[in-house]
């Protein structure tokens, strides 16, 4: 007997027939003699709708009440799935994040899981009851509902799998696995049988939404065996494994893109020690993550500072910086939400040079201008105008020989 965590994303639970399809996937594991915990997302489109409702009231809403609203989507699905399982004669019970509880920090809207009190939950699983857990939610230190950031049900599933010492964590979604790039953008994308945690982490962190970044971080840290597979096919999917398990290391294994960032430029910032800390400190205090950063000397002891933030944080970032303008002493604050980040990822970059040059050439051939560049050991990212995002992804996928025949 094994313990399995199965996670089903929004499209997998989009309506009642699809929830019945999930019942069949759960039943298969039970019939194989396994104990099953199921983590569910909100039905497709529901979270977007809930987010939109909060934004209609105020774009700079109170994060605690935002969580109260957006956490409800998952509650509906967990109840529906428990009912659908019961109808097939399967013992099942729903669990909300606060009932287990899944304890998180207090950063509402993007909380991190700190601990899961698993004893009672685990005991109930031992009685053969299927646990149906609302993903995405937790309980903050103030005893209020928190949510884990968009796509956070993946992280709920991995954290639960770790707490339960599950044998596997299967992430069921609407594609057959992890591809060389988003298969909805590039028809010639190839499915990978295996990908390393490191590459998956980079791909997720630069925009491949197939797994939430934090879920990959946790799986890597806690050694959770993770599989990405489709709710709608029998394909075995993609295993996310340690780098040592991958025999043939590709130079470039994937291309990712994100339209989720916005660019901010502060012009004529004083070029002296402490200025970057004075700018990024208040943003960090407001829980705004800064991603790419570039600084251009403009002479006379002043520089232009350009950086990116998550698009949904743009208004807040502009507000924070505008308030601090007297102290920071910049000349102008410019921002542009119409940008995209395109990235090339591969562990082979550790030992080979020339990958960046190939990227710059492929983009230049298409006349695409690069606004900001950032790199890590196994990734190169560039910021470009949003309108060129798909063209760039296609061009790079072909340039690195990733197109399927
Ligand atoms: P779910 O609702 O099941 O959590 P998501 O929409 O969060 O599903 O993630 C699945 C989607 O991720 C796919 O439909 C696909 O468009 C997108 N995606 C982006 N990059 C990749 C990639 N490299 N491989 C597979 N899917 C990707
Ligand atoms: N329902 C949440 C979202 O849409 C969490 C998830 O689906 O993983 O972001
Ligand atoms: Mg998702």
Name the nearest CA neighbour of 132 among 100, 173, 178, 87: 100
Q: What is the pLDDT of residue 91?
A: 97
- Beta carbon of 75 within 6 Å of any ligand 2 atom: no
Q: What is the pLDDT of residue 294?
A: 92
- Beta carbon of 179 within 6 Å of any ligand 1 atom: yes
Tokens of 215: 């879920």
Query: What is the DSSP code (8-state) at residue 181?
Result: S
Answer whether residue 85 shows pLDDT above 80: yes
| pLDDT tier, 251 (very low <50, low <70, confident <90, very high otherwise) | confident
Alpha-carbon span 28 to 234, nearest angstrom: 12
Answer whether residue 74 shows pLDDT above 80: yes
Determine the atom of ligand 1 nearest the C-alpha atom of 203. 23
Query: Mutation test of ligand 2: which of 74, 153, 156, 157 has the most ligand atoms closer than 8 Å to its C-beta?
Result: 153
- Beta carbon of 182 within 6 Å of any ligand 1 atom: yes
| pLDDT tier, 8 (very low <50, low <70, confident <90, very high otherwise) | very high
| pLDDT tier, 351 (very low <50, low <70, confident <90, very high otherwise) | confident
Q: What is the pLDDT of residue 323?
A: 95
Cα-Cα-Cα-Cα dihedral sign, residues 159, 204, 13, 232: negative
Q: What is the pLDDT of residue 347?
A: 87
Ligand 2, atom 5, residue with closest C-alpha? 151
| pLDDT tier, 163 (very low <50, low <70, confident <90, very high otherwise) | very high
Ligand 2, atom 9, residue with closest C-alpha? 150
List, for residues 116-138, the tens digit of each pLDDT value. 999 999 999 999 999 999 999 99
* Close Cβ partners of 131 (under 8 Å, ≥ 6 residues apart): 36, 37, 38, 92, 93, 95, 121, 124, 125
Taking residues 3-15, report their average pLDDT: 98
Q: What is the pLDDT of residue 329?
A: 86
Name the nearest CA neighbour of 345 among 376, 378, 375: 378
Determine the atom of ligand 1 nearest the C-alpha atom of 154. 4
Torsions phi, psi for 219 (to 5 deg)? -60, -40
Domain boundaries, the chain: 3-174, 244-405
Answer whether residue 272 shows pLDDT above 90: no
Query: Mutation test of ligand 1: which of 40, 46, 153, 173 has the most ligand atoms closer than 8 Å to its C-beta?
Result: 173
Q: What is the pLDDT of residue 275?
A: 87
Q: What is the pLDDT of residue 313?
A: 92
- Beta carbon of 45 within 6 Å of any ligand 1 atom: no
Taking residues 207-211, report their average pLDDT: 92
- Beta carbon of 150 within 6 Å of any ligand 2 atom: yes
Q: What is the pLDDT of residue 43?
A: 98
| pLDDT tier, 150 (very low <50, low <70, confident <90, very high otherwise) | very high
Q: What is the CATH number of domain 244-405?
A: 3.30.2130.10
How many residues are present in the chain?
Answer: 405
List, for residues 184-196, the tens digit of each pLDDT value. 999 999 999 999 9
- Give residue 122 CA to ligand 3 midpoint distance, Å: 25
Asked if the peptide bond before residue 101 counts as cis, ω within 30 degrees of 0, the response is yes
Mean pLDDT of the chain: 95
List, for residues 37-66, the tens digit of each pLDDT value. 999 999 999 999 999 999 999 887 899 999
- Beta carbon of 10 within 6 Å of any ligand 2 atom: yes
- What is the CA 156 to chain-centroid distance, rounded? 12
* pTM given for the model: 0.91
Q: What is the pLDDT of residue 104?
A: 98
- Beta carbon of 210 within 6 Å of any ligand 1 atom: yes
Q: What is the pLDDT of residue 97?
A: 98
Fold of the 3-174 domain: Carbamate kinase (3.40.1160)
Determine the atom of ligand 2 nearest the C-alpha atom of 153. 8
């Amino acid at each position: 007997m094994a313990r399995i965590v199965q996670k089903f994303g929004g499209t997998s639970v989009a309506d009642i027939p699809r929830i019945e399809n999930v019942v069949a996937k759960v039943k298969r594991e039970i019939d194989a003699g396994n104990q099953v915990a199921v983590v569910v997302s909100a039905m497709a489109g529901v979270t977007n709708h809930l987010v939109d409702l909060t934004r209609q009231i105020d774009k700079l809403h109170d994060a605690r009440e935002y969580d109260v609203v957006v956490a409800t989507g998952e509650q509906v699905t967990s109840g529906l799935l428990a009912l659908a399982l019961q109808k097939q004669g399967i013992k099942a019970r729903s669990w909300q994040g606060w009932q287990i509880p899944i304890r998180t920090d207090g950063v509402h809207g993007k909380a991190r899981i700190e601990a899961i009190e698993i004893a009672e939950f685990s005991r109930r699983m031992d009685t053969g009851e299927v646990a149906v857990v609302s993903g995405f939610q937790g309980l903050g230190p103030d005893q209020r509902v928190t949510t884990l950031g968009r796509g956070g049900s993946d992280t709920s599933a991995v954290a639960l799998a770790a707490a339960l010492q599950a044998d596997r964590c299967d992430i069921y979604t609407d594609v057959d696995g992890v591809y060389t790039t988003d298969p909805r953008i590039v028809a010639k994308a190839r499915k990978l049988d295996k990908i390393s945690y490191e590459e998956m982490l980079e791909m997720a962190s630069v925009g491949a939404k197939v797994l939430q970044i934090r879920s990959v971080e946790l799986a890597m840290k806690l050694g959770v065996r993770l599989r990405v597979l489709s709710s709608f096919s029998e394909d075995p999917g993609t295993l996310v494994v340690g780098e040592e398990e991958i025999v043939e290391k590709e130079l470039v294994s994937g291309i990712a893109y994100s339209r989720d960032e916005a660019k901010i430029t502060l012009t004529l910032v004083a070029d002296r020690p402490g200025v970057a800390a004075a700018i990024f400190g208040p943003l960090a205090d407001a829980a705004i993550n800064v991603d790419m950063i570039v600084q251009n000397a403009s002479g006379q002891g002043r520089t232009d500072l350009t950086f990116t933030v998550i698009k949904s944080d743009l208004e807040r970032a502009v507000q924070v910086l505008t308030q601090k303008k007297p102290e920071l002493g910049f000349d102008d604050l410019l921002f542009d939400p119409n940008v995209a980040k395109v990235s090339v990822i591969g562990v082979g970059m550790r030992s080979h040079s020339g990958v960046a040059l190939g990227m710059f050439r492929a983009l230049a051939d298409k006349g695409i201008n690069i606004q900001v560049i950032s790199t890590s050991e196994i990734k190169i990212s560039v910021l470009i105008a949003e309108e060129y995002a798909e063209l760039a992804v296609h061009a790079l996928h072909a340039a690195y020989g990733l197109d399927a025949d």
